[in-house]
Amino acid sequence: MSTTANFGRILLSGIAAAACVAAFAVPATSAELLATVKSRGKLTVGTEARFPPFEFVENGQIVGYSADIMTEVMKTLPGVQLERLDLPWQGILPGLAASRFDYVVTSVTATKERYQTYHLSVPIADATMAVLKRKGDAEIAKPDDIAGKPAGSQAGSAQLQALETLAADLKAKGTPVGRITTYTDFSEAYADLAAGRIRAVVNSLPNLLEAARQRPGLFEVVLPTFGPKTYFTWAGRNDPDSATLDALIDSELVKLNVSGKLAELQTKWFGAPMQLPNTLSVPEK
């Protein structure tokens, strides 16, 4: 990855990153974090670069919607290099809590539990849940139609929680889901869906639209969405030392939303703009 302030470097990737991340850990300190970032000339963030079109690797570089947003945010930190640790999702929030990096720049679904534990940024995208099926599967016309069929989602994710909640609702109606399979990342779930090992994948709508756009002859999004209105955010530590960095990033995200830059990037990566609030309300679940 480029060593410029706006693009940073990919230091680690995949499961190997989980084993190695401690060696690259940002030392825990009681110093005010934004001042520390400026003095060391480096902002270290955790990301999961297997979540297109938000974050993914192309030609050895992390690209996507979040990468483009971060390019804009870094303009407010001249002289500071962006350093990105590419990690499995399951290590992202624990790594933040352990101060292995300064901030999380990946798609964190806003949940009540996360809201209470971390500083979740203002929304960066709609994350309302939906179902992906194989194209032409006439037995699945709405989310409830996954009853009696095997479905999957990512381990440890809010999307898996949404699938489990839907499955519990269907079970209460006497029509349980056939089987729930969990995956390290969504590419594995899509592969199983393509192979017919599962019948449905639950993920956030923007990601499923991208999956269907990439493979239009194979996948199809099932509408309407289901569950409460949900948003993707970024995340920082919820402590006094992190407060100024959290506030700076929130402020820049609001400016990008108000100016129309976020809408421009949404059109680039999703094909259409999204209506996003400039504050994050306490999530329902």
CATH of domain 14-126+231-270: 3.40.190.10
Q: How confident is the model at residue 240 (pLDDT cuts 50, 70, 90)?
A: very high
Count of residues making up the chain: 285
Q: Residues 221, 130: contact at Cβ < 8 Å?
A: yes
Q: Residues 202, 151: contact at Cβ < 8 Å?
A: yes
Query: What is the number of helices (H) and of strands (E) in the chain?
Result: 10, 14
Bridge partners, residue 226, by sequence: 129
Nearest Cα to Cα of residue 192 among 149, 230, 256, 240: 149
Query: Contacts by 261-265 with C-beta closer than 8 Å and gap 24+?
Result: 261/72, 262/69, 262/124, 265/65, 265/68, 265/69
User: Does the structure show a pLDDT above 70 at 169?
Assistant: yes
* pLDDT tens digits for range 90-115: 999 999 999 999 999 999 999 999 99
- What sign for the dihedral angle of Cα 151, 214, 67, 127? negative
* Share of residues in the chain with pLDDT > 90 (%): 83
CA distance 176 to 184: 24
CA distance 188 to 19: 21
The domain 129-226 is classified under which CATH number: 3.30.420.610, 2.40.340.10, 3.40.50.12780, 3.40.190.10?
A: 3.40.190.10
Nearest Cα to Cα of residue 11 among 49, 59, 54: 49
Tokens 């410029």 belong to which residue? Answer: 4
Q: Is the peptide bond before 224 cis (omega within 30 degrees of 0)?
A: yes
CA distance 236 to 239: 9
Tokens 């971060």 belong to which residue? Answer: 70
Task: Show me where the domains of the chain are located.
Answer: 14-126+231-270, 129-226
The pLDDT value recorded for residue 167 is 97
The pLDDT value recorded for residue 8 is 40
Element (H, E) at 103: strand 103-109
Same topology between domain 14-126+231-270 and domain 129-226: yes
What mean pLDDT is predicted for residues 226-255? 97
